[in-house]
Amino acid sequence: MEVPLEFDALDNEKYIYNQEAAKLIDILLDFPSQFKNAEKVLEQSDIRLRTDYKNILVIGVGNPSTVAFKLLESVKENKLKIPACLISTKEIPSWVSSDTLIIAISHSGNTIEVLDAVDALTERGFEIIAITTGGRLKEKSDTQDKIKILLYSAELLPRMALGYCYVLLLEILAKANALSVSGFSRNEKDSIGWDDVENELYKFTRELIPEIKIYKNT
């Protein structure tokens, strides 16, 4: 019997969990590849970043933006060199200036609060880096020079795209000289060495639970 949908199937988690178990398993197994794919997104972009920002403003609501920001705050090895703040409304802090690195994160590109904040900021002439899969945020970037887009492709629920958002956020901060990541090398393009990150995670998992088989993505 067909399962009745109360809303779009892609947003109906009950439907997905009932009907797409195999696909969900594939997504989980493929999660590490989000790191390298995200790195390629920034490498292939033409975004140029200053290295003298005074502070950071991240705009995001729910998953994966807020989780990525909390991870950034919680990992002690990630040392922010300048203050950072996360907002989830269009109310812009008074301290935001041309020396603020502004990053807007919306998986769908249609998050109302993020769009409203972006509009408020661009009206005041501020530049914004947007991380998204498309939607209205992408449309705005097509017509407004102040919005620079980092577009990733992922047919996932927002919470399952954490790898993309986390890596892109870290990469932006690292390229802007706003973040230092202890223990990991940097490649010739001055980005985080995710091969080193993967190797460290691999060793950690082997030591923590040696009986679990680990398959390294290539």
Instruction: Of 156, 151, 163, 174, give the one whose Cα is nearest residue 71.
Output: 163
Asked if residue 171 has pLDDT above 70, the reply is: yes
Q: What percent of the chain has pLDDT over 90?
A: 37
Instruction: Of 175, 156, 154, 194, give the one whose Cα is nearest residue 42.
Output: 175
* Mean pLDDT, residues 176-192 taken together: 62
Decide: 105 and 137 in contact? Cβ < 8 Å: no
Helix axes 65-74, 162-175, angle to 10 degrees: 60
Decide: 117 and 87 in contact? Cβ < 8 Å: yes
Residue 68's pLDDT is: 77
Residue 159's pLDDT is: 74
Give me the domains of the chain, ranges plus CATH numbers: 9-21+34-183 (3.40.50.10490)
Residue 188's pLDDT is: 44
* Cα gap 70→34, rounded to integer Å: 18
Residue 5's pLDDT is: 39
* Cα gap 148→165, rounded to integer Å: 15
Per residue in 92-133, pLDDT tens?
A: 999 999 999 999 999 999 999 999 999 999 999 999 999 999
* Mean pLDDT, residues 186-213 taken together: 55
Residue 2's pLDDT is: 40
* Mean pLDDT, residues 183-191 taken together: 48
Instruction: Of 26, 2, 93, give the one whose Cα is nearest residue 55.
Output: 93
